[in-house]
Structure 1
Amino acid sequence: MRRRHHFHIDYRGHSVSATVETGLRPVVEVLVDGKETGHATIRDDGPLVVPIELPTDPPTPATVRATSGPGVPRCLLIAEGDLDSHVMAPRLY
């Protein structure tokens, strides 16, 4: 059974959203400011790192780390130069 889980964070003035679709072929899509910037297929229950860029001047490399299970999926935003990762909050739509 396929299920979609949505996550979001506002970071340095930019909107970063991720959708984790679970099921037979789990997929992760990442949008920055409403534009798709990353897409990957999860091969197992381990974490998947999707590289993205934040449209700053100069662009800031970042990654979204997504886990599809076991249990409820989770997403973290990790920006280059930051010592901490940022938890992306789940959204219900």
Structure 2
Amino acid sequence: MDRLRVTLLRVIHLRVTLLKVIHLKVIHLKVIHLKVIHLKVIHLRVIHLRVIHLRVIRLRVIRLRVIRLRVTLLKVIPLKCLKDIPLRDPPGP
């Protein structure tokens, strides 16, 4: 499991590095952005292992495909944590 975690951290770190510029733009869109976070990030906070920072999660919210991929990759976390949390897609543009 440690090897898997290290691999995930490396991938996450790479994505964070590549998305730093986008992150700066995201900060300015907090009002619209928070609506999406409220729907999606709630369950992400359970699975981010306190390793993925909230700023990174906010970037993930914009890319729903990336979020779904993260959820799939982080199966190492007990599904009990996700049991009572509704998973809803944010409203379209």
Give the TM-score range, shorter chain.
Answer: under 0.3
**Greater fraction strand:** 1
The two structures have a TM-score, normalised by structure 2, of 0.24
Higher RCO (C-alpha under 8 Å, 6+ residues apart): 2
Structure label with greater radius of gyration:
2
